[in-house]
Amino acid sequence: MSIGNSSAGPVDLSVYLVTDAAQCVAAGRSVAETVSAAVAGGVTAVQIREKHADGSAFLRTVLEVAALLPASVALIVNDRVDVFLAARAAGACVTGVHIGQSDLPPAAVRGLVGDSAVIGLSAATPAQLHAAARDADARVDHVGIGALHATRTKADAPLSLGLDGFARLAALSPLPAVAIGGVTPADLPHLRAAGAAGAAVVSGICAAPDPRAAAAAHARAWAAVTPYEESRS
């Protein structure tokens, strides 16, 4: 599903890769090599998440990935608004940022990144979802809801929701919702039928022996729900 509250245009969040550098390295690849293979397999958006890298290293990774992505694939920077701004100043095609509840307030982020950038916000409770939708100054474009299942890729991840829990939360928000946390291809038809705008995948692609094949499996699973079935959910 494509979304676009900002002036950046529609963003396809259907199969949304969130990178994990440690998992990529353990699998014998760089982040950029993993992203390149995953995009060839059908990934529609990429978020660079570097929880332990310094600003310079984070920026290098963003620039390296931006240089290889086709224009149709969104590039999102996790948490670091400064890295997003530096990449944009360097001429990279970066789409926006994804922030959490403990990062800068969304309205402050919007003031920094401008109207053309996409802002994604993590939300795990009804109160957080309502706040994201009501914040007219922030103009949040989409929310990330999780954890769908138990996950080890994020130390502060909330308790797992399960498919039913995700569906209940997603129904509370007028903003497009992306599921994250232990997502597998088997989950994707159910998530799409529940109204998800997409599914964010970390380990399922970054740790896979063949990230292109893993991405293709997720893309096929997302496509398993027809538009008619989706409209009836």
DSSP codes of every residue in the chain: -EE-SSTT--EE-SEEEE--HHHHHHTT--HHHHHHHHHHHT--EEEE--SS--HHHHHHHHHHHHHHS-TTSEEEEES-HHHHHHHHHTT----EEEE-TTSS-HHHHHHHH-TTSEEEEEE-SHHHHHHHHH-TTT---EEEEE-SS--SS-TTPPPP-HHHHHHHHHHH-SS-EEEESS--GGGHHHHHHTT-SEEEESHHHHTSS-HHHHHHHHHHHHHTS-HHHHHT-
pLDDT in the model for residue 152: 65
Going by C-alpha positions, the residue among 149, 147, 212, 202 that lies closest to residue 23 is 202
* Superfamily per CATH, domain 2-231: Aldolase class I (3.20.20.70)
pLDDT in the model for residue 113: 98
Mean predicted lDDT score pLDDT of the chain: 92
pLDDT in the model for residue 154: 56
Arithmetic mean of pLDDT, 39-43:
98
Q: How do residues 184-224 score in pLDDT, each as one tens digit? A: 999 999 999 999 999 999 999 999 999 999 999 999 999 98
pLDDT in the model for residue 36: 98
Q: Band the pLDDT of 225: cuts 50, 70, 90.
A: confident
Which range (69-83, 122-136, 148-162) has the least confidence? 148-162
Residue 7 has pLDDT above 80, yes or no: no
Residues sharing a CB contact under 8 Å with residue 29, sequence separation 6 or more, in sequence order: 37, 211
pLDDT in the model for residue 150: 79
pTM beyond cutoff 0.85: yes
Residue 228 has pLDDT above 70, yes or no: no
Q: What percent of the chain has pLDDT over 70?
A: 89
Residue 230 has pLDDT above 60, yes or no: no
Q: Band the pLDDT of 142: cuts 50, 70, 90.
A: very high
